[in-house]
Amino acid sequence: MTAQKITITSAEVIDLRVPTSDAMLGSDPFHKMPDYSSAVLHLETDGGLRGVSVVFTVGAGTDWICHGINDLCQLIIGTTLEDFATAPVHLYRRLIDHHQLRWLHDGVFRMAAGAVINAMWDLWAKSLDKPLWKLLVDLEPEFVADCIDWRNISDALTRDEAIAMLQDRRANVGKRELEMSELGPKAYCTAGWLGLTNDQILATIRKLQDQGFDSFKLKVGQDSQRDVERIQFMRDAIGPDCNLMVDANQYWGVEEAKRHVEAYRSFGLKWVEEPIARDDVLGYIELASTFADADFGFACGEHAASPVIFKQLLKSGAIKYCQIDAVRVAGVNDVMAIILMAAKYGVPVCPHGGGIALCNMIQHYGMWDQIAVAGHSDTQLVEYIDFLQEAVESPVATKAGCYVTPSAPGWGLEFLSAFVGKHRFPDGEIWNTRAGSRKGAAFEA
Amino acid sequence: MTAQKITITSAEVIDLRVPTSDAMLGSDPFHKMPDYSSAVLHLETDGGLRGVSVVFTVGAGTDWICHGINDLCQLIIGTTLEDFATAPVHLYRRLIDHHQLRWLHDGVFRMAAGAVINAMWDLWAKSLDKPLWKLLVDLEPEFVADCIDWRNISDALTRDEAIAMLQDRRANVGKRELEMSELGPKAYCTAGWLGLTNDQILATIRKLQDQGFDSFKLKVGQDSQRDVERIQFMRDAIGPDCNLMVDANQYWGVEEAKRHVEAYRSFGLKWVEEPIARDDVLGYIELASTFADADFGFACGEHAASPVIFKQLLKSGAIKYCQIDAVRVAGVNDVMAIILMAAKYGVPVCPHGGGIALCNMIQHYGMWDQIAVAGHSDTQLVEYIDFLQEAVESPVATKAGCYVTPSAPGWGLEFLSAFVGKHRFPDGEIWNTRAGSRKGAAFEA
């Protein structure tokens, strides 16, 4: 796929924060008062197109990521889209293996690198007037394989295996694309937020059911007895045939998780999400073994900081659902590697959504996975939260419990400029009128 | 141990960079041209004392960590040493579990949090006029246990086990302290840097032997045949009784590591360091199993980003040497947890040194481990590099192949102000006279 010779001329990085903690939206046991936020990157070019990406955060710390993105952008201003699109792994390595910056590891560094990489993919897709998923679907198997850094993962999946797998799906890609031309991946929603009463949860479920959803999640990680009561309440409310999942947001240690989860055996749960720390691979293996005969499997990944962590979770069979995040690892290149590994090990890709604009991004990965990698839609659920969509030009939509297939070019991630102006931190009007204690890191629950 | 009521009044964060890449010092396969650097934190107080800590980096990216430290310092200005010393885990949790910042994970965030925590420990030790190791040795077992966040590690070591272990060593602490009152931990050095010729390596070895060293390390990760020749050269040069270790700096994938390391069986190596990625726990387990009958064991940890990674490496028996770093995890509190876990699993603590001022810090951990936790000096080697010691007021010294027991209060980490002035980035005279291409992230190997 040829790319035009478009040069990156400048970068703007915006610290965008929404005071969602005012209404206690999206809280969990650790993130008690999140202010849904985003480090937004605009790569401006001489071709009139803009490459856009976002890194979702929960408030304080967005500036850390903005600082990093600004630094990395020194490395791409003056480069061309053609350079990038010829071999995207070159930019990936220039950033992730930068001989000095690589000392900074995962977390802020990998997320900032992902922002730059994702903005370049956005620009490429826009230059072809394709949504991102369509660009990915149209890539040749060898090209996809060449986007990936195989150094640390080829004990789980080799380049040749990846190519063979993609080739194998190739015959059906046209058919799958047609099948998904209107309705995209099946979606699920969190109905049981920690802050909600039973009545509020019930109202949320009914509203979602009216919209066609049949898969629901509940937050746990409080008092065990109360958690179990809430699971029972949710199961009663949705009936035996709907999917029910629970999410502990890493709240427990391994032994503690065993005790809590033991009480969850009788509710026909689909998965138990993030029972323990994001990087505790052996802990996940131990839990999987302890609950090998349970109905549910374990799910995680939204906080897994690198493809190496995913490799271990997938290869060992520790997780039964692979929850990629769109902005935690180093962009499209890393996520491609993870989706391919999940396919080899037969683990459904169930991306993490929510926050600001995560759903707008993950729908593309769901499409690529279900058309070209897994090649089916039989087992995956893609998270969906109807939240802050009024902030973007191309809101995510659902129909009959599925994502409506995205059609805007690139990620479709352009924020409305009025929204950006208002929520820019700390000078937008939402923030500059607040007292100091409601700002930044100093604001503590 | 009571602490005075000293209030933190301000924080200064300095981006200090030394152009070590001019002479290709400290290079490895990934970090081809490191500029040894440090984010230096000075916590000023109303008591005339200053809390100091450093975060070592290799050049570009130091500003990312400085940005983070500055942000976190908002949370401690106005707090007192007394608050901290009453229960150090409170500050640890305020930072690491900050309900918004925790989203940033390990890497930059954990390192910045470690800087703040380490500066507070420095201040506490200085207020008692004790070197840091002595403060740690004098803490009651219960107090040590209360410094630790047990949430994610108690499946490997419980609070009660830690206390019992420390209590058990208590009877011999006086004796051990006396034994180590002049000579501290046994040290080892890297003699075989990648850039050096055989003659240069030989000269380095002879110089180190004259100083009493008998343990040497060699960098590998280039052409396999050449690596093996260099190992043979080193072994011939030092004879059969000296310790010889090799370090691959994470250069290989798992299968690749197996092939390379297979050729290392006949040289009586003590350890093979960082053959694979820093977070590949299952890879280490596989290597340990493949080479279970070899003379050598595997070593890693300088890039292990959290106590949870260490927990898995130790509990599984995957590593035989635990290479704590002083600034990669969240300061004294995290390192205490790791050293205690290593003691339970009988894995010698062999800290990672070098860079700027790492040796100045790790000597304290070696002392604490060998006096109060392992309670012996039979198996540990602490890395030592005679480098940039002219930059600090209390240089590290060695004698007869051991660290000379540090006696300066706190970490003993005060940089000479002239050195700081010259190396401040980008405005110090070392940097402001250089062309742009030798500065920051734009400078690429």
Chain B positions in Cβ-Cβ contact with residue A110 (cut-off 8 Å): 107
Q: For testing the chain A interface, which of B30, B99, B160, B260 should be mutated: the one with the most A CBs within 10 Å?
A: B99
pLDDT digits (tens, 9 = 90+) for A202-246: 999 999 999 999 999 999 998 999 999 999 999 999 999 999 999
Closest CB from A75, A255, A309 relative to B154: A255
Half-sphere exposure of B240 (CA within 13 A, CB side): 1
pLDDT digits (tens, 9 = 90+) for A24-47: 667 777 888 899 999 999 999 998
Q: What angle do CA A321, A325, A328 make, to 5 degrees?
A: 135
Per the CB < 8 A criterion, the answer to whether A423 and A392 are in contact is: no
Outline where DSSP puts E strands in A193-323: 215-219, 243-247, 271-273, 297-300, 321-322
> In the predicted model, what is the mean pLDDT of residues A382-386?
93
Q: Which of B43, B180, B178 is nearest to B124 (CA)?
A: B43
With pLDDT > 70 as the criterion, what percentage of chain B qualifies? 97
Asked whether residue A445 carries a pLDDT value surpassing 50, the answer given is no
> In the predicted model, what is the mean pLDDT of residues A320-343?
98
Asked whether residue B210 carries a pLDDT value surpassing 60, the answer given is yes
Q: Has the ipTM of the complex gone over 0.85?
A: yes
Domain boundaries, chain A: 162-417
Half-sphere exposure of B61 (CA within 13 A, CB side): 31
Closest CB from A75, A108, A445 relative to B64: A108
Query: In what helix (H) or strand (E) does residue A170 lie, and over which residues does it extend?
Result: helix A159-170
Catalytic residue among B186, B217, B219, B423: B219
Is B106 close to A109, i.e. CB distance below 8 A?
Answer: no
Distance between CA B398 and CA B409 in Å, rounded? 18
The arrangement of secondary structure in B162-417, i.e. its CATH architecture, is Alpha-Beta Barrel (3.20)
From residue A17, give the alpha-carbon distance in Å to each of A26, A37, A69, A144, A303.
14, 4, 17, 34, 20
Pairing status of strand A271-273 against strand A8-17: unpaired
Four-residue CA torsion sign, A297, A300, A301, A307: negative
- Tell me whether residue A311 is one of the annotated catalytic residues: no
Q: B206 to chain A nearest CA, in Å?
A: 31
> In the predicted model, what is the mean pLDDT of residues A342-347?
98
Using 50, 70 and 90 to split pLDDT, how confident is the model at A151?
A: very high
Is B74 close to A107, i.e. CB distance below 8 A?
Answer: no
The pLDDT of residue B66 is 98
Which of helix, strand or coil describes residue A412? Answer: coil
Q: For testing the chain A interface, which of B55, B57, B108 should be mutated: the one with the most A CBs within 10 Å?
A: B108
Which range, of A37-41, A328-332, A381-385, A434-438, averages the lowest pLDDT? Answer: A434-438
The pLDDT of residue B387 is 84
Asked whether residue A442 carries a pLDDT value surpassing 80, the answer given is no
Distance between CA A256 and CA A437 in Å, rounded? 35
Asked whether residue B321 carries a pLDDT value surpassing 90, the answer given is yes
Q: Which residue does chain B place closest to A59, by CA atoms?
A: B100
> In the predicted model, what is the mean pLDDT of residues A248-272?
97
Which of helix, strand or coil describes residue B298? Answer: strand
Q: For testing the chain A interface, which of B103, B110, B161 should be mutated: the one with the most A CBs within 10 Å?
A: B103
Q: Which residue does chain B place closest to A21, by CA atoms?
A: B100
Q: Who wins on pLDDT, A121 or B27?
A: A121
- Tell me whether residue A219 is one of the annotated catalytic residues: yes
The pLDDT of residue A32 is 80
Distance between CA B356 and CA B18 in Å, rounded? 9
Distance between CA B378 and CA B383 in Å, rounded? 15
Closest CB from A31, A107, A153 relative to B106: A107
Tokens of B188: 């080892």
Is residue A426 reached through a cis peptide bond, with omega within 30 degrees of 0 on the bond before it? yes
Asked whether residue B196 carries a pLDDT value surpassing 90, the answer given is no
> In the predicted model, what is the mean pLDDT of residues A423-440?
82
Catalytic residue among A219, A270, A320, A364: A219
Using 50, 70 and 90 to split pLDDT, how confident is the model at B439?
A: low
pTM beyond 0.90: yes
> In the predicted model, what is the mean pLDDT of residues B350-355?
95
Q: B126 to chain A nearest CA, in Å?
A: 28
Asked whether residue A164 carries a pLDDT value surpassing 80, the answer given is yes
Chain B positions in Cβ-Cβ contact with residue A105 (cut-off 8 Å): 106-108, 278, 303, 305
Question: If you average pLDDT over every residue of chain B, what do you get?
Answer: 95
Residue B1 CB neighbour total at 10 angstroms? 12
Asked whether residue B1 carries a pLDDT value surpassing 90, the answer given is no
The pLDDT of residue B27 is 73
Using 50, 70 and 90 to split pLDDT, how confident is the model at B443?
A: low
Q: Which residues contact B22 (CB under 8 A, 6 or more apart)?
A: none
Lookup result for tokens 């490395």: A75
Chain B positions in Cβ-Cβ contact with residue A107 (cut-off 8 Å): 104-110, 305
pLDDT digits (tens, 9 = 90+) for A183-209: 999 999 999 888 889 999 999 999 999
> In the predicted model, what is the mean pLDDT of residues B279-294?
98
Is A108 close to B109, i.e. CB distance below 8 A?
Answer: yes
Residue B64 CB neighbour total at 10 angstroms? 29
Asked whether residue B155 carries a pLDDT value surpassing 60, the answer given is yes
Closest CB from A74, A252, A278 relative to B442: A74
Question: If you average pLDDT over every residue of chain A, what do you get?
Answer: 95
Asked whether residue B441 carries a pLDDT value surpassing 60, the answer given is no
Q: How many residues does chain B have?
A: 445
Query: In what helix (H) or strand (E) does residue B333 lie, and over which residues does it extend?
Result: helix B331-344
Four-residue CA torsion sign, A126, A132, A134, A140: positive
Closest CB from B64, B155, B444 relative to A104: B64
Q: Which of B48, B38, B34, B41 is nearest to B73 (CA)?
A: B41
Chain A positions in Cβ-Cβ contact with residue B306 (cut-off 8 Å): 277, 279
Asked whether residue A115 carries a pLDDT value surpassing 80, the answer given is yes
Which range, of A114-118, A177-181, A373-377, B25-29, averages the lowest pLDDT? Answer: B25-29
The pLDDT of residue A193 is 86
The pLDDT of residue A27 is 73
Catalytic residue among B270, B311, B320, B352: B352
Using 50, 70 and 90 to split pLDDT, how confident is the model at A441?
A: low
